[in-house]
């Protein structure tokens, strides 16, 4: 293991402002150099991206451009495998969310990256330097990472500013105070510098914990379920503020969450985990519109499930044919997003063909969308499907609606999907 990491630490260049970070991101996506190059996410040879109508497709950064790299990491607790051969690389300025159900290994992987769990197999790199492998392990406090825990872990006997100063012991007292105030200003908490944690709300405590993690200017930030203790309304506000702060710092971020919506809101890329393995790794657009398994499709949103058989390169469903590349005659499972079922009045259908009809069982306004329960004839007693329409769309119960299917939001998998 390369212990020169302690003697000659490199500092990752960061964008000086939010506009600089946005300029870098736009330049990367367009494949053109920015006016003032900064080695943030997408700069250099490791992250050329392409654009399509479904959103950007990001390629994994080259190892030389990784702020955090984990290769073939395995970790066991007794006979239970918590992390099973996981490899992930995170570029400077990139936010990677680890998401999955409880017990899937996401928090263990973060703790291995932080050094809070001793690496058993694999390699961990920070800024290109090996900090853990089969030969040894750099302790957490010397890895140059910032940590934010689920319970924030603030010191109750220290003021806000002293909590933030805690990780700045290598600086002179005046420099500590100045840097702590700068970081508190970043998260909107400078006005509470002399308060104590018990006098703060949950959202304010979360921001102080983030400020403490950012104060030493780490190359890597690790956040473990940082919003789980907040109520729903406050959680939306705080995670929005956190996203802007993280993008302004330019640090590589690994964030653990069990909430798929939160992952899609925050992440540049998402690693979906199950039973210690990464099931799918990609952008939020990839995982929602191009799931690679039944499990991935269901995890990121409600789906209508219809079983069928492949005939002529497609599966027939009560709402239309769905193309697929499964073998002819194979049993298949079709998963259709509720927003893929677009409803209209049977009289307004401009299509010369007879429309697929469904009977409205119930319709409910859910704020920005309406959820419509449908009974669709399938020749076997009817099929119960859900449609989600934008805005207010509330047809009366027992009336009929025409249904058109957006096959781009319908996915076909083998009936016995191994995941």
- The domain in which residue 355 lies consists of 302-414
**pLDDT higher than 90, residue 131:** yes
Q: Do 407 and 308 reside in the same domain of the chain?
A: yes
Residue 416 is predicted with a pLDDT of 81
Q: What is the mean pLDDT of residues 23-36?
A: 43
**pLDDT higher than 50, residue 19:** no
Closest to 372 in 3D by CA, of 397, 349, 346: 397
Whether residue 317 is contained in a domain is answered as: yes
8 Å CB contact between 163 and 157:
no
DSSP secondary structure, 101-144, as one string: STTSSHHHHHHHHHTSS---EEEEEETTEEEEETTEE--GGGS-
**330: Cα within 13 Å, side-chain hemisphere:** 16
What is the tens place of the pLDDT at every residue in 83-105? 999 999 999 999 999 999 999 99
Residues 225-253: b if buried by 16+ CB within 10 A, e if exposed: bbbeebeeeebeebbebbeebbbbbbbbb
Task: Give bridge partners of residue 341 from the DSSP assignment.
Answer: 405
Q: Do 145 and 244 reside in the same domain of the chain?
A: yes
How far is Cα 419 from Cα 417, in angstroms, rounded to an integer? Answer: 5
Last residue of a domain, one of 277, 296, 315: 296
Residue 352 — very low, low, confident or very high, per pLDDT cuts 50/70/90? low
Q: Do 277 and 393 reside in the same domain of the chain?
A: no
Report the relative pairing of strands 341-344 and 121-126 from DSSP bridges. Answer: unpaired
**pLDDT higher than 80, residue 10:** no
Q: Do 274 and 329 reside in the same domain of the chain?
A: no
Q: Cα dihedral sign for 162, 168, 171, 177?
A: negative
Q: Minimum mean pLDDT among 13-17, 181-185, 290-294, 327-331: which range?
A: 13-17
8 Å CB contact between 281 and 54:
no
DSSP 225: S
Q: Do 284 and 181 reside in the same domain of the chain?
A: yes
Residue 347 — very low, low, confident or very high, per pLDDT cuts 50/70/90? confident
Q: Minimum mean pLDDT among 215-229, 276-290, 390-404: which range?
A: 215-229
Q: Do 99 and 124 reside in the same domain of the chain?
A: yes
Residue 334 — very low, low, confident or very high, per pLDDT cuts 50/70/90? very high
What the block records as the tokens of 1 is: 């293991």
Whether residue 406 is contained in a domain is answered as: yes
- Structural domain count, the chain: 2
Residue 55 is predicted with a pLDDT of 52
Q: What is the mean pLDDT of residues 310-325?
A: 95
Q: Do 112 and 226 reside in the same domain of the chain?
A: yes
**E-only strand ranges, 249-312:** 252-257, 269-274, 277-282, 304-311
Whether residue 58 is contained in a domain is answered as: no
Q: Do 274 and 213 reside in the same domain of the chain?
A: yes
Q: Do 331 and 197 reside in the same domain of the chain?
A: no
Q: What is the mean pLDDT of residues 113-124?
A: 95
Residue 7 is predicted with a pLDDT of 42
**Nearby residues of 107 by Cβ (< 8 Å), 6 or more positions away:** 224, 225, 256
What the block records as the tokens of 276 is: 């210690």
210: enclosing H helix or E strand:
helix 202-214
**pLDDT higher than 80, residue 191:** yes
Whether residue 60 is contained in a domain is answered as: no
Q: What is the CATH number of the domain that holds 224?
A: 3.40.50.300
Whether residue 291 is contained in a domain is answered as: yes
Residue 349 is predicted with a pLDDT of 57
What is the tens place of the pLDDT at every residue in 262-307? 999 999 999 999 999 999 999 999 999 999 999 999 999 999 999 9
Q: Do 189 and 321 reside in the same domain of the chain?
A: no
Last residue of a domain, one of 296, 330, 353: 296
Residue 382 is predicted with a pLDDT of 85
8 Å CB contact between 332 and 412:
yes
Whether residue 21 is contained in a domain is answered as: no
What is the tens place of the pLDDT at every residue in 143-171? 989 999 888 889 999 999 999 998 888 88
Last residue of a domain, one of 296, 321, 347: 296
Q: Do 238 and 318 reside in the same domain of the chain?
A: no
Q: Phi and psi at residue 328, in whole multiples of 5°?
A: -60, 130
Q: What is the mean pLDDT of residues 183-192?
A: 91
Whether residue 393 is contained in a domain is answered as: yes
Residue 348 is predicted with a pLDDT of 66
Q: Do 102 and 239 reside in the same domain of the chain?
A: yes
What is the tens place of the pLDDT at every residue in 70-85? 999 999 999 999 999 9
Whether residue 134 is contained in a domain is answered as: yes
Residue 268: alpha-carbon gap to chain centroid: 7
What is the tens place of the pLDDT at every residue in 231-252? 888 888 888 989 999 998 889 9
């Amino acid at each position: 293991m390369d212990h020169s990491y302690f003697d000659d630490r490199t500092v990752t260049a960061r964008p000086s402002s939010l506009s600089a970070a946005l300029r870098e991101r736009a330049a990367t996506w367009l494949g053109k150099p920015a006016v003032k190059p900064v080695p943030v996410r997408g700069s250099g040879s490791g992250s050329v991206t392409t654009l399509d109508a479904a959103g950007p497709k990001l390629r994994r950064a080259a190892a030389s451009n990784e702020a955090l790299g984990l290769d073939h990491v395995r970790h066991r607790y007794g006979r239970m495998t918590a992390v099973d051969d996981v490899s992930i690389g995170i570029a400077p300025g990139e936010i990677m969310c680890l998401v999955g159900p409880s017990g899937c290994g996401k928090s263990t992987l973060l703790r291995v990256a932080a050094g809070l769990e001793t690496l058993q197999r694999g390699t961990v790199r920070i800024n290109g330097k090996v900090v853990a492998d089969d030969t040894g392990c750099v302790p957490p406090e010397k890895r140059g990472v910032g940590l934010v825990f689920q319970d924030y872990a603030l010191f109750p006997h220290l003021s806000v500013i002293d909590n933030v100063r805690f990780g700045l012991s290598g600086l002179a007292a005046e420099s500590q105070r100045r840097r702590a105030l700068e970081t508190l200003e970043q998260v909107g908490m400078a006005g509470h510098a002399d308060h104590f944690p018990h006098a703060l709300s949950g959202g304010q405590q979360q921001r102080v914990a983030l400020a403490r993690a950012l104060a030493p200017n780490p190359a890597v930030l690790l956040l473990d379920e940082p919003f789980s203790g907040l109520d729903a309304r406050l959680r939306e506000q705080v995670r929005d503020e956190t996203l802007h702060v993280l993008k302004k710092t330019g640090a590589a971020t690994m964030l653990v969450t069990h909430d798929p919506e939160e992952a899609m809101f925050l992440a540049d890329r998402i690693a979906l985990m199950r039973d210690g393995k990464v099931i799918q790794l990609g952008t939020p657009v990839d995982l929602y519109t191009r799931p690679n398994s039944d499990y991935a499709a269901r995890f990121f949103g409600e789906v209508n499930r219809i079983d069928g058989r492949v005939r002529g390169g497609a599966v027939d469903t009560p709402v239309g044919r769905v193309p697929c590349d499964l073998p002819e005659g194979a049993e298949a499972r079709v998963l259709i997003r509720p927003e893929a079922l677009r409803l209209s009045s049977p009289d307004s259908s401009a299509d010369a063909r007879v429309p697929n009809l469904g009977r409205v069982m119930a319709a409910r306004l859910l704020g920005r969308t309406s959820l419509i329960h449908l009974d669709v004839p399938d020749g076997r007693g009817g099929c119960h499907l859900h449609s989600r329409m934008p805005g207010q769309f509330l047809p009366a119960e027992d009336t009929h609606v025409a249904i058109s299917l957006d096959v781009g939001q319908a996915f076909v998998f083998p009936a016995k999907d191994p995941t």
